[in-house]
Amino acid sequence: MPISIANADHYRWGSDCDGWHMVRAATFSVIEERMPPGTVEQRHWHARAKQFFYVLSGTLKMEVEGATHDLPAGFGIEIPAGTAHQARNEGNADVKFLVISSPPAQGDRREADTDA
């Protein structure tokens, strides 16, 4: 069955961010996320999950082990398991992106030091 944010399972995270589960499988997941301007996720890492973030619109600022990357629409970044990272939206518009995780990252998240 075709899926979109109109019929996908939705959840809220952080203060004002949204996520939609596009694929929930035992071996991988695909989530579309939306971060409004000025939002920041908690810096964290995953013990097992490798992730790929792909920006659909806006510019996502991604800190990975102390290195900061500006990812405009059409760009992505792979985050290996065990790698501390933090997404933020420092722009003036929503950032929309896909997070593809293998295996799924739910329950695999660990807080990281805030000093990047």
Per-residue pLDDT reduced to its tens digit, 72-106: 999 999 999 999 999 999 999 999 999 999 999 98
Strands (E), the chain: 9-13, 17-24, 29-35, 44-46, 50-57, 59-64, 67-72, 76-79, 85-88, 95-102, 109-111
CA nearest neighbour of 106 among 24, 18, 8: 24
How much is the average pLDDT of 3-20?
96
Per-residue pLDDT reduced to its tens digit, 38-68: 999 999 999 999 999 999 999 999 999 999 9
For the whole prediction, is pTM greater than 0.85?
A: yes
